Amino acid sequence: MTSPPAGAREWIRRDLSRDAASPNLRDYDEACARFSWAEARARLTGLPGGALNIAFEAVDRHVPVRGAQVALRWRSRGEARRDVTYRQLAQLTSRFASAVAGLGVKPGEAVFALAGRVPELYVAALGALKGGFVFCPLFSAFGPEPVFARLSRGEGRVLVTTPSLYEKKVRALRERLPALSHVVLVRSGDEARAPLPEGTLDFDALLATGRPDVAAVATRPETPALMHFTSGTTGTPKGALHVHGAVVQHHLTGLYALDLREGDVFWCTADPGWVTGTSYGIISPLTHGVTLLVDEADFDAERWYGLLERERVTVWYTAPTAVRMLMRAGEALPGRFDLSRVRFIASVGEPLNPEAVWWASRALGQPIYDTWWQTETGGIMVANYRAMPVKPGSMGRPMPGVTAAIVTRAGGRVQVSPVPGTVGELALAPGWPSMFTTYLHDEERYRACFVDGWYLSGDLARVDADGYFWFVGRADDVIKSSGHLIGPFEVESALLEHPAVAEAGVIGVPEPVMGELVKAFVALKPGFDDSEALRKELLAHARRRLGPAVAPREVAVLPALPRTRSGKILRRLLKARELGLPEGDLSTLEPPP
Ligand code: WT7
């Protein structure tokens, strides 16, 4: 949690005269005052008759002007590397789109991907969009439970994955996925020589059946394009649906918030299994015709600095957890690398500690520019801009075109809080193009996000007299661990499947690097006794079902879990006890519906 230190007036004003390129957004107030979405849309090319297709804007429209430029610069875990030009990417995505159509898959049906950061994943994402299918990424570190929950709820028709992920997470569940008619496997090395598992197709063989020159489907701005699953406090994960028109927001935020321009090498460290890795790890930068760096490997401080230097990264979009890991690797390390080409560094996903901003100013030679948004908003809503002073700890100011406010709820209505500094819920006025259009199969939950003409984010924040927003905390029980949003209900459900567990309550507890750590509290069924062996078994069970990205790191056994009168587990009370806070302060113990 961050809040402005009392009376703090320490801003970081960057001397832009030293930079070769002046910022895309030079005058924030002016850009806001004369803003129009029609003008924002006119920055894109569009298709005849008012059609708009994300893949066309990201790939095909660049072919005549920069067909030979590298669109995707892929670096593998090992020695392998691959550069894909805009022309090649256009051909590959056309092949994918037409090959999938050739399987009998209809526009609007869902193409899922479950894979690490390999080039084929990018081809599948953009190819699905090109063909008018709905693309839905899954994080490769999800276990079989989260994969199954999302694939079945999203009625995945096609799944692009790898042989090992298929074997570990999908094969056994396939009978319970009647909609899933095609599994396409990306095979490399030895895998490519092994026989194909029954009921699967080979990615390259499938592509060979497609045509390299088919045009993007003439989707409308309101045609569904992307589905991103996100977690709430209760129930199954929610499938937030986004439309092709979202590309207007992706492009505009790339321009203003990420300061992207021709010639840039852009690196977004988020995995495409999450919304950041799709909106900004694929779409936004490509609409700007830049070179996208994709690193298959996981975090490693030296590797990362080495990539920034060697790949001549100019704009870098990363996450607070990663920044904290870099901080742990020491301030001297970046000094061994030439980071002078890096023009702009931004972050998203969780609170960016003011210390991290100050650290970057010293160690990396510039501050980190925080941005705020959510799966539901589809793109950046609040940001710090290169031309504006940074107040370390603040998320910045609303994007031109976006109206944000701090509101309070009372009696089913909301009221905009007129006093700067008041803590309330961060709300947005609907109307930006990347706003989700529904939660799949859950229109009621979707409608519940809107009150009195505001979209309510579920985040608590405040705005200061200069119009800068400051994150305060979540209004609900969802957990943010290493930047990943985790629904406690999904974790509790997996624990309840264990024969020893009678009740489960899951919370996030503060942790210096990950932000929050997932901690489970369980009560045991009669006949089971607490022991270290049992607790280990519970953690292993949860990890098998949920995967390392979601599973709890700690478990504690209690005689019984605290509940409300209506029987809901009181996660907040568990949290108050864990943090040693006075329980009396939690006056509104009934969790929100
Ligand atoms: C939640 C959304 C942002 C896209 C990827 C994550 C938290 C996001 C910030 C920030 C503090 C932040 C909020 C938000 N969050 N950005 N700059 N400072 N908190 O999308 O998984 O839907 O998570 O992430 O709590 O509601 P998401």
Give distance in angstroms: CA of 398 to centre of ligand 1.
14
pLDDT digit string (tens) for 203-234?
Answer: 999 999 999 999 999 999 999 999 999 998 88
Residue minimizing CA distance to atom 2 of ligand 1: 374
* pLDDT given for residue 593 in this prediction: 37
Q: Which of ligand 1's atoms lies nearest the C-alpha of 484? A: 21
Residue with CA nearest ligand 1 atom 19? 350
The closest-lying atom of ligand 1 relative to the alpha carbon of residue 347 is 17
Ligand 1 atom 1 nearest Cα:
374
The atom of ligand 1 lying closest to the CA of 370 is 17
In the reported structure, the alpha carbon of residue 349 is separated from the centroid of ligand 1 by a whole-number distance in angstroms of 4
Cα-to-centroid distance, 371 and ligand 1 (Å): 9
Could you tell me the distance, in angstroms and rounded to a whole number, from the CA of residue 358 to the centre of ligand 1? 21
Phi, psi torsion values for 210, nearest 5 degrees = -95, 175
Closest CA to 518 of 583, 574, 462, 585: 574
Q: How close is the Cα of 474 to the center of ligand 1, in Å?
A: 10
Q: How many A from CA of 480 to the centre of ligand 1?
A: 8
What is the Å distance from ligand 1's center to 348 Cα?
Answer: 7
| Under 8 Å between Cβ of 181 and 157 | yes
Pocket mutation for ligand 1, best pick of 373, 472, 486 (most atoms within 8 Å of C-beta) = 373
CB 527 within 8 A of CB 509: no
Q: Which two tokens stand for residue 95?
A: 């092949």
Best substitution site from 274, 459, 476, 486 to test ligand 1's pocket, by max atoms within 8 Å of Cβ? 459
Amino acid at 527: G
H-state helical runs in 189-329: 190-193, 203-208, 246-256, 275-278, 284-287, 301-310, 320-328
pLDDT lower than 70: segments of the chain: 1-9, 584-593
List the one residue out of 20, 118, 23 whose CA is nearest residue 74. Answer: 118
- Note the pLDDT of residue 587: 42
Cα–Cα distance for residue pair 544/561, rounded to 1 Å? 24
β 156-161/110-114 pair status: parallel
CB 485 within 8 A of CB 479: yes
Measure 176 CA to ligand 1 centroid, in angstroms: 33
State residue 9's pLDDT score.
57
Q: Give yes or no for a contact between 215 and 105, defined as CB atoms under 8 angstroms apart.
A: no
Give the C-alpha separation, 277 to 261, whole Å. 19
Return the pLDDT at 592.
42
**Nearest alpha-carbon partner for 77 in 161, 166, 189, 193:** 189
Using the atom order of ligand 1, give the atom closest to the CA of residue 270: 5
Q: What's the first-to-final CA gap in the chain, in angstroms?
A: 24
Q: Report residue 329 as tokens.
A: 């690797």
Return d(Cα 322, Cα 299) in angstroms, integer: 8
Question: Given this model, what pLDDT does residue 233 score?
Answer: 85
Provide the pLDDT for residue 585: 54
The amino acid occupying position 353 is N
| DSSP per position, 297-362 | S---HHHHHHHHHHTT--EEEE-HHHHHHHHHT-SSGGGGS--TT--EEEE-SS---HHHHHHHHH
User: Do 483 and 508 meet the contact criterion of CB atoms below 8 Å apart?
Assistant: no
Q: What separation in Å is there between the alpha carbon of 351 and the centre of ligand 1? A: 8
Q: How far apart are CA 117 and CA 298, in angstroms?
A: 10
Q: Which residue has its alpha carbon closest to ligand 1 atom 14?
A: 374
Ligand 1: distance of its center to the CA of 508 in Å? Answer: 15
The pocket around ligand 1, CB under 6 angstroms, is made up of: 230, 275-276, 348-352, 370-375, 395, 457-459, 471, 474, 480, 485
The whole-angstrom separation of Cα 341 and Cα 346 is 15
